[in-house]
Amino acid sequence: MNTIAIVDYGMGNFHSVARALQAAAPGHDICIARDATAIDAAERVVFPGQGAMPDCMHTLEASGLRAAVLRAARDKPLLGVCVGEQMLFTRSDEGDTPGLGIFPGTVRRFAGPAFDAAEGGEARLKVPHMGWNPVHQTQAHPLWEGIAQDTPFYFVHSYYALPDDPALVAGTSRHGVEFCCAIAAGNIFAVQFHPEKSAEPGLRMYRNFARWRP
């Protein structure tokens, strides 16, 4: 039986991801991996994250799983989710935090005129960005299979990745500004939204990941 390891370093929605994967890929062994051996042994890896980037990076280091995640990123199908996507980049403006450096780029906070306070002191758009937003697929990819263009997915975030290489961008969305919400390169696909909170389209993405052979 093929194994999908969900990296549990203490800062992610691991059980929700596991339930979604169990529903989407019943023929796979879904493992919440708390040690490097389980990650190394898995056929494919999901790398989730939630909360503040400094806390996520600190907890990943403390868990002893950083090296196993980097090994998985070299040659296994790997799906990053939410802060798990942000952690793949060079650094984040959130706490000026270094990331894993797999991809060159910066994680930026939503800012600009659309977020400035209007007359009366109310912000035009709120941060964090929470709720359903259409995702525009900017390149074909097996993880988009069966998911219609501009399908809404569920977001909860204040920061978004800005890759140095535009060719990494696999999907965009809009909250005041257009922002990258999905990246793809080789054996890695990563998204800012939460597939496990995105109903049938999210389950379809997990099903596609379970079948994906990059």
157-168 per-residue burial string, b: 16 or more CB within 10 A, e: under 16: bebbbebeeeeb
Set 28, 56, 181, 196: catalytic member: 196
Q: Please classify residue 155 by burial: count the beta carbons closer than 10 Å to its beta carbon, then call 0-12 exposed, 13-18 middle and 19+ buried.
A: buried
Q: Which of 31, 56, 82, 181 is catalytic?
A: 82
CB-based contact 30:21 (threshold 8 Å): yes
Residue 82 falls in the annotated catalytic set: yes
Dig out the tokens for 168 from the structure: 């990494």
User: How many angstroms separate the CA atoms of 69 and 49, rounded?
Assistant: 13
Report the candidate in 66, 71, 101, 73 with the shortest Cα–Cα distance to residue 86. 101
196 catalytic, yes or no?
Answer: yes
* Rounded alpha-carbon distances, angstroms, from residue 55 to 58, 99, 108, 208: 5, 11, 16, 30
61 is catalytic: no
The residues annotated as belonging to the active site are 82, 194, 196
